[in-house]
Amino acid sequence: MSDKLEINKELVLSTSHVPDHTATFINLGTPMFIVIQDGFTFRMYVSEDSAIHDCEGHAELLVLAKLAQDNDCKWLVLDCDAATYDELPTFEW
């Protein structure tokens, strides 16, 4: 049975890896991603088939989405309690 199960990968990063104005942009909804918000967590569908376009003022979000895609993830999750990574910029809110 396990060979028939579809299991999706997701990249989980701290919301501090995007600036406040980008979090507001995500919160307002965007045609770029399918966004599911749960409290202080944003879950964005970023598969190859999703419409990821250059969006003025939110280049850091596109970098994270590309990082998720490059690691074969279908979802990018930004969570206030998730880890931060030195390799990625962080922003004060």
**pLDDT tens digits, 2-31:** 678 988 999 999 999 999 988 888 877 666
Structural domain harbouring 47: 2-79
Number of structural domains the chain divides into: 1
In this prediction, residue 45 carries a pLDDT of 84
Domain-located, residue 87: no
Residue 70, C-beta contacts closer than 8 angstroms, at least 6 positions apart:
none
Domain-located, residue 86: no
Domain-located, residue 24: yes
Domain-located, residue 85: no
Domain-located, residue 74: yes
Domain-located, residue 90: no
Q: Which one is predicted more confidently, 52 or 70?
A: 70
Q: How far is CA 37 from CA 49, 64, 68, 87, in A?
A: 21, 17, 18, 25
Domain-located, residue 51: yes
pTM of the model: 0.82
Domain-located, residue 84: no
Report the candidate in 33, 46, 41 with the shortest Cα–Cα distance to residue 15.
41
